[in-house]
Chains A and B, each alone.
Chain A
Amino acid sequence: QFVLTQPPSVSGAPGQRVTISCTGNSSNIGAGYEVHWYQQLPGTAPKLLIYGNNNRPSGVPDRFSGFMSGTSLSLAITGLQAEDEADYYCQSYDDSPSRWVFGGGTKLTVL
């Protein structure tokens, strides 16, 4: 259903590192279009977390980073904290047809 594929859920203990992948195809990520990431805390609006694959807006802790792994772009969260428990969405451009698309979202649970 979603053009960009994310794992439905990931989990980790406080202090650990977790990663969330975002996989597409040749009309989006595979074509080299940048990926942006959003964090949606429970009951709130999404918030920009990473733009342009690996850039953090002002105010976003450096525990959050983006990186490429094979044909996927991924979000890494280090030093996991309870407040990181949220849904995370990737977003990119798809050229067939032309539009911007989101991944299905990943629910992060902090154990």
Chain B
Amino acid sequence: QVQLQESGPGLVKPSETLSLTCSVSGGSISAYYWTWIRQPPGKGLEWIGYIHSSGSTHYNPSLKTRVTISVDTSTNHFSLNLRSVTAADTAVYYCARGVRRISVYYYYYMDVWGKGTTVTVSS
């Protein structure tokens, strides 16, 4: 059974870079879309982006200029870097496994989620 676990600093200063890692255990990292989603306190979910095990990425246009997602298939980890953070980036950050129907680009959903990690942006 695949399990995901987020890790990283719980506090980041404004203008700095938020860096999180997701560890994938119990299954292969190949052939899936490894995804980051966030949820500000008391609010809804926001899709940040994904990276396929092949290295291809797709980011939310609203965050694209600040986001990088990378994957290390040798260690079964993938990571999120979010640059120039502000208080608006304070949220619970979830990593998730994305599944896509073959040859149907838009048919994509997240079937396994990590428990989430809280990141606060504050000086």
Of the four ranges (under 10, 10 to 19, 20 to 34, 35 or more), the interface on chain B belongs to: 20 to 34
The residue in B99, B112, B113, B114 that gathers the most chain A C-beta atoms within 10 A of its C-beta is B113
Q: From A47, A52, A99, A101, give the contact of B107 (CB < 8 A).
A: A52
Residues of A83-99 whose CB lies within 8 A of B: 89, 91, 93, 95, 97-99
Binds B, one of A13-21, A70-78, A102-110: A102-110
Query: What residue in chain A is nearest B108 (Cβ atoms)?
Result: A100
- How many residue pairs link A and B with beta carbons under 8 A? The number is 62
Asked whether A64 is an interface residue with its Cβ less than 8 Å from the other chain, the reply is no
Q: From B45, B108, B113, give the contact of A105 (CB < 8 A).
A: B45
Residue contact B61 to A97, C-beta cutoff 8 Å: yes
Residue contact A101 to B109, C-beta cutoff 8 Å: no
Of the four ranges (under 10, 10 to 19, 20 to 34, 35 or more), the interface on chain A belongs to: 20 to 34
Q: Which residues of B contact A36 (CB under 8 A)?
A: 109
Q: Which residues of A contact B46 (CB under 8 A)?
A: 102
What is the minimal beta-carbon distance from B48 to any residue of chain A, in angstroms?
Answer: 10
Residue contact A100 to B107, C-beta cutoff 8 Å: no
> A99 and B60 in contact (CB under 8 A), knowing A33-B106, A52-B107, A93-B108?
yes
- Interface residues, chain B, with chain A CB atoms under 8 Å away: 37, 44-47, 58, 60-62, 94, 99, 101, 105-116
